[in-house]
Every structure is written in C-alpha cells, then in structure tokens.
Amino acid sequence: MIGIISAMQEEMQALLNELKNVSTSEKGMRTYYSGTLFNKNVVLVFSRWGKVASAVTTTQLINDFNVSEIIFTGVAGGIINELNIGDIVIGKNMYQHDLNASPFYEKLEIPILKKKFLKTTDATKLLEATTSFLSTYNKYIENADAQLFEITNPKVIFGDIASGDQFISSLKKIKKLNKLIPTATCVEMEGASVAQVCFEYDMPFSIIRIISDKANDNATIDFPKFANSIASNYALGILKNYFA
C-alpha cells in the first residue's frame, strides 16, 4: 500500500478521479480514500496546510493503513532564478526553515535528532518517471491551461526544499531564505514535517513539488485553479509512470 498526500484536495483531484475500487474512512477530521491506482494499492488523503497538519496525517497513514511508502505531491514557490512556473522539484534534502531551538541547538537543527535536514529516499525511479511524464506533457495538460499560467518547456530538478509555517510572498523573505539555506530551490509548508515523521518511523518517502509561483511580491496566482488543472494532472502523469 502506497500513501499519497497533498495539502489541498485540488492538488490530487485527478488522482481521485482515476482511483478504482474506492472505500473511504474518516479519521481525525480527514477522509482517507483507499483503492487501486494504475493497478497499485494506494490510500489518498489531503492533509490541509502546514507542518502540524501534514505530520498528523503522515502519522495516521503509517499507523492505520500499513503503507510501505509515502509520496507527498503539491505546489511550491520557487526561490531560485532557474525555476519557472510549471517546473518540478523532486525533493532531496528537506529543511524546516522556521526551526530555531537555540541556544540548545543550532539554528535549523531538529532537537534530539541533531540533524539540520532529512534526506528523501533514493529518487532515481521518481526522476525517471517525471522525465517520462514531461515527454508526454500534452497528454495531461491542456494547451489553454499551460498558456494561462505561462508554462513553457517545463523541466525537473532534484533539489533541496525548505518548509515552514508561513506563506512566502516577498523578495525580502526570499533573500533571507537564500542566505539561511543556500541550496534550497523552493519553499512550501509541509514536506520537511512529512520527512521527520517518515524518518522516525523508518518509512521510505518522496516529495514532488510543482512550481506555482516565484514566492515573491508578484506571487498572486489562482492557487485552486493551478492546483486543479496543473498540479493535479502533473501528479497523475508522474505517478502513472512511477507505478508502471
């Protein structure tokens, strides 16, 4: 059983539409959708936004659904010039950019674990699946939707990701993040908390992030529309290749 999480239902709607033999269960104010997706047994759930919400959801998946792997998929804001809207980041090292337990621990260091970041599981297969998806991009993304969000020649990179409980929407905050975590490529609100739970439970996990904005002063985008028409279909195409 593979657990698939998104912060918003719109980010996984295309997956829900393809889910077969569906059964649902309600736990902790969340709906868990079990079934088969491309002949794989899966359970899908949207966690809601933020580190606490995603940590709770991940813990529930591990304890109640006997999952062997967790995949988080959703949108993120790019914080390096090389990333454009529609590009994909497959997570490498996951940082909590708002974690600061000094003077007891160094900034960014996770108490007790004594790690400043957590590594995702080997991403070779996921990167190959994403590259395959991009080669058949037009099968999943409508031309009009790509044009609406000015997506041209989307690419995938394997990079570090920063997570924190705040929406980053200013150049000033981006500059602080660039200084704090020079290797970070994008910023979001859940990935590093999923990473910590999976690390503590020895659970393989992956993070897929679709760039929806540049996390700057111009970060005004129709997120539900982008999530539903772009990010959701990206997840569908990537996971179809990943499960093949």
Q: What is the pLDDT of residue 168?
A: 84
Task: Compute the average pLDDT of residues 228-242.
Answer: 97
Give me the DSSP letters along 35-76. Answer: EEETTEEEEEEE--SSHHHHHHHHHHHHHHS--SEEEEEEEE
Q: Is the pLDDT of residue 218 over 70?
A: no
Q: Are 61 and 88 in contact (CB under 8 A)?
A: no
Pairing of strands 184-188, 69-78: antiparallel
**Average pLDDT over every residue of 173-188:** 96
- Is residue 219 scored above 60 in pLDDT? no
Residues marked as catalytic: 11, 213
Question: Does the pTM of the predicted model rise above 0.75?
Answer: yes
Per-residue pLDDT of 63-120, as tens digits, reads 999 999 999 999 999 999 999 999 999 999 999 999 999 999 999 999 999 999 999 9
Instruction: Write out the H or E segment, with its range, that includes residue 134.
Output: helix 124-135
pLDDT score of 214 more than 90: no
Contact 222, 1 (CB under 8 A): no
Helix H or strand E encompassing 158: strand 156-163
Cis preceding-peptide flag for 103 (omega within 30 of 0): yes
pLDDT band with cut points at 50, 70 and 90 for residue 170: confident
- Domain boundaries of the chain, sorted by first residue: 73-243
Q: Is the peptide bond before 204 cis (omega within 30 degrees of 0)?
A: no
Instruction: Give the CA dihedral 166, 171, 176, 181, nearest 10 degrees.
Output: 80
* Element at 188 (helix H, strand E): strand 184-188
DSSP 8-state symbol, 184: E
What are the tokens at 4?
Answer: 């698939």
What architecture is domain 73-243? 3-Layer(aba) Sandwich (3.40)
